[in-house]
Structure 1
C-alpha cells in the first residue's frame, strides 16, 4: 500500500486515529532525532517527542494545508516544546559524548578513530555554543538532510534567509575553530 500523505491527513483531521497512527509511524523517528539533538538526553527526547504527537493529535482537526509539508507543522510543534523545555531548565544540556557512535571504516586504525572522536567532541561543543536557531539549522541540514526550502518552511524563513544564516553559521564555526587552533599552538 502506497503512503498517500494528503489522503491520510484528510482522514486524520476528521478524527481517524488509524490515519494519525500512520502519520506517527512515518514521522516519529525524524521528530525524535530532532528533539534528541536539541536536548541531548534520550529520556527527555522520548518525553518531548510523545508530547509533540499528543499535541499534534489534539490539534490536527485545525490543521490546514498552507503549501508547506505536514512535517513543517510537526517540527514547529517540536521546536516550541524544546524551546519551552530549555526555558524551563534555563540551561542547555550537552549530549553525552559516550552516546555518539564512532563507526570504524575498513582498514581504519584505532588512533585515527580516537582523533576523529576528539575532533567530533570539539565540533559538538562549539555547535552547542551557537544560538538555538543556528543549532536548529545545522540539525535540520545535516541530521535530517533537509533542503534549504524545507528548512525555511519549518523555521518560517525564506530559502534565501536560510542560505544566509547557514553561511554565517559556517563562518562563525570556522572562526571558532581557527581561534581554538591558535590557542592550542600558543600553549
Structure 2
C-alpha cells in the first residue's frame, strides 16, 4: 500500500512538466535544485564556495529546463540525467575556482544573522577533515559516497548514473566506508597515544 502523501518520482514530474509545464515544472525544478545543491556543496566544499554551489545549482536547473524539451526517457532514473548535468557544471566551477579568486564588493549589503565565526570555523574544520579522508579513496568510491550520502540518491539511481549495477554500488560503498572507518580509528588511536 502506497502512502497517501508520497511524492511523485522525478521521472513522473519530468513527463508532466514536459507535457504541461506550470506547477509540475516548478515542482520538478525545486527538487532538481535540492539534488544539484547538495551535490555541488559536497564537491565544492573544500573550496568553501557556498555562493558558487548556489550558482551551480541554478545553472543545473536552467540546463534541465532547457534539456527537458529534448529529454528522451530511456528507462533510467531522471536523477541520472540531472547528475550528468551537475557533474559537468561542478567540473566547470572547480576549474574557475582553481584559476583564482574573483573580486567582490568592498562592503557587505547587510548584516548576516548566521552562526558565529567560531562555530563556522569548527564546522568547516570538521567538513575539511571528512573531505580529506574521502579524498584518500579511489575516485569511483568518492563519487559513490557523494551521490549516495550528499546527494541522497538511491543505490539504483547511483548505479544508473555511474553505469554500474546496484550490487557493485553496494560493494564499493561498503568498501569505501570500511576504509574510512579504519582510517578514522587509526587516526584516533594515534591521538590517544
Query: Normalised by the size of structure 1, how large is the TM-score?
Result: 0.69
Q: 8 Å contact 1:28–1:49 — kept in the other structure?
A: yes
What corresponds to 1:9 in structure 2? 14
Q: 1:121 deviation in Å?
A: 5.8
Aligned partner of 2:27 among 22, 27, 31: 22
Distance in structure 1 (CA, Å) of the matches to 2:170 and 2:23: 38
**Structure 1 position 133, deviation (Å):** 3.5
**RMSD of the TM alignment (CA)?**
3.4
Trace 1:1-187 onto structure 2 (pairs within 5 A).
4=8, 8-14=13-19, 16=21, 18-40=23-45, 41-90=49-98, 98=120, 122-184=129-191
Distance in structure 1 (CA, Å) of the matches to 2:142 and 2:37 = 16
Gaps of 5+ in 1: 102-116
Equivalent residue, structure 2, for 1:114: none
Could you tell me which runs of 5 or more consecutive residues in structure 2 were left unpaired when the two chains were aligned.
100-116
- Change beyond 3 A, Cα 1:44–1:6: closer
Q: Counterparts of 2:127 and 2:41 in 1: how far apart (Å)?
A: 17
Are the structure 2 counterparts of residues 84 and 15 from structure 1 closer, same or farther at C-alpha, using a change threshold of 3 Å? farther
SS at match of 1:62: coil
What is the deviation of 1:15? 7.8
Q: CA contact under 8 A between 1:38 and 1:136: conserved in structure 2?
A: no
SS in 1 for 2:69: helix
Change (3 A) 1:170 1:10: closer
